[in-house]
């Protein structure tokens, strides 16, 4: 049976309604593709707690988590079935230590669609590119 892998990502917004995209380091699975920073939900964790933990681990940053940005996206790989859920978020700190990424980029909505996203991220990036981000802010 395919292994289901539950993953959370953060669509981090700034005050100009830009979204933070992050490029996975070359040496990781799906290396060099753009994604929403985050990672796998650990057993017993709720998605919001997992997302806050991952952002501490990956950027050394604290975030606040808002509402889900788009429907959960599912993508099959030979290593398992990724179930990716992305939440809007905002930063309480701005360290951006690049531990798992080679690059981060603040994007306006049109710029989001110019990046080479991981497959599961693409429908979510499209939904965010068309969303009313003023309403997503919190
Ligand atoms: N973090 C993240 N992972 C994503 C996204 N889209 C996508 O397909 N993935 C995949 C890549 C990985 O196979 C999996 C998440 O693993 P990860 O390597 O980022 O998470 P992790 O830190 O918990 O894992 P690990 O390195 O400890 O194994 O989900 C995304 O937008 N963000």
Question: In order along the chain (138 residues), what is the average pLDDT of each group of 10 residues?
Answer: 95 96 95 97 98 97 98 97 98 94 96 98 98 86
pTM, full prediction: 0.96
What pLDDT is stored for residue 37 in this prediction?
98
What pLDDT is stored for residue 138 in this prediction?
81
Domain total in the chain: 1
Q: Is ligand 1 within 6 A of the CB of residue 124?
A: no
User: Is 20 in contact with 89 (CB distance < 8 Å)?
Assistant: no
What pLDDT is stored for residue 135 in this prediction?
83
What pLDDT is stored for residue 134 in this prediction?
86
Q: Left, alpha or beta for 125 (phi > 0: left; psi -120 to 50: alpha)?
A: alpha
Q: What is the ipTM of this complex?
A: 0.93
The CA 117 to ligand 1 mean position distance, Å, reads 13
Q: How far apart are CA 20 and CA 50, in angstroms?
A: 18
Q: Identify the CATH number of the domain in which residue 124 sits.
A: 3.90.79.10
Residue 55, domain extent: 4-136
Among protein residues, the one whose CA lies closest to atom 10 of ligand 1: 82
């Amino acid at each position: 049976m395919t292994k289901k892998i539950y993953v959370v990502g953060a669509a981090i917004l700034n005050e100009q309604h830009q979204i933070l995209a992050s490029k996975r380091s070359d040496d990781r699975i799906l290396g060099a593709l753009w994604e929403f920073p985050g990672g796998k939900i650990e057993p017993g964790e709720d998605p919001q707690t997992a997302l806050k933990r991952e952002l501490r681990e990956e950027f050394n940053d604290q975030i606040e988590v808002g509402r889900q940005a788009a429907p959960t996206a599912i993508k099959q790989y030979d290593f398992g079935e990724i179930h990716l859920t992305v939440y809007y978020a905002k930063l309480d700190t701005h360290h951006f230590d690049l531990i798992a990424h080679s690059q981060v980029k603040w994007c306006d909505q049109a710029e989001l669609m110019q990046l080479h996203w991981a497959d599961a991220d693409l429908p979510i990036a499209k939904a965010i590119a068309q969303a009313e981000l003023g309403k997503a802010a919190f």
